[in-house]
Amino acid sequence: MKSVDKSKIAGSYGISELCLEYDLTRDAYYKYQKRFVKQENIKQKVISLVKERRDTLPREGCRKLHNALEQPFKKNDLKVGRDKLFDILRAENMLVTRKKASFKTTNSYHHFHKYNNLIKDIEIERINQVGCQILLTLKQ
């Protein structure tokens, strides 16, 4: 259907000829056009409502956004489900990206006893040398 629109703009073919070429009826073409315009209007209204909401809560995710906008959708006679909202926001590149999780894994200021590294000066040459060496140093 989109290629039919482009050809019409170029003015090289009439609608009847293009519909025959693509094996469509003229009725199907005009219904598609009407449906497309209606969907674009819905999309623009949804985007404006989302932008209003995102002014106050810029990091709000799509699911919470859908729940919060249920009343404005009903007020504007918009039937937009969660998945449709996802599709619209994805197409407009308005989905909120997740923040990278970072964790602090080391706490050097804890209250536990810190043990010395007893094997830092030992050269390891055979199996079980470390265990025996530590026992000898502890006995002394």
What pLDDT score was predicted for residue 69?
95
User: Within a domain: residue 124?
Assistant: no
> What is the rounded CA–CA span in Å between residue 52 and residue 63?
16
Whether 103 is covered by a domain: the verdict is: no
Summarised one tens digit per residue, pLDDT across range 38-74 is 999 999 999 999 999 999 999 999 999 999 999 999 9
Sign, CA dihedral 90-43-77-31, equals negative
Please state the domain count of the chain.
1
The owner of tokens 């909120």 is: 96
pLDDT tens, 24-37? 899 999 999 999 99
Distances from the Cα of 9 to the Cαs of 1, 2, 3, 5, 32, in angstroms? 13, 11, 10, 6, 17
Token couple for 31: 């219904």
Evaluate if residue 7 carries a pLDDT over 70.
Answer: no
Whole-number pLDDT of residue 6: 60
Higher pLDDT, 54 or 136: 54
- CA dist 122 and 98 (Å) reads 47
Q: Is residue 74 part of a domain?
A: yes
Residue 134 lies inside a defined structural domain of this protein: no
Residue 37 belongs to a domain: yes
What is residue 92's DSSP assignment?
T
* Each residue's pLDDT tens digit, 86-119: 999 999 999 998 888 888 888 878 888 878 887 7
Q: How many angstroms separate the CA atoms of 84 and 90, rounded?
A: 10
> What pLDDT, on a 0 to 100 scale, did the predictor assign at position 65?
94
Query: Is 100 part of a structural domain of the chain?
Result: no
Looking at the domain assignment, is residue 67 inside a domain? yes
pLDDT at 2: 61
Cα–Cα distance measured from residue 20 to residue 4, given in angstroms and rounded to the nearest whole number: 11
Residue 13 domain boundaries = 2-91
Residue 132 belongs to a domain:
no
pTM over 0.85? The answer is no
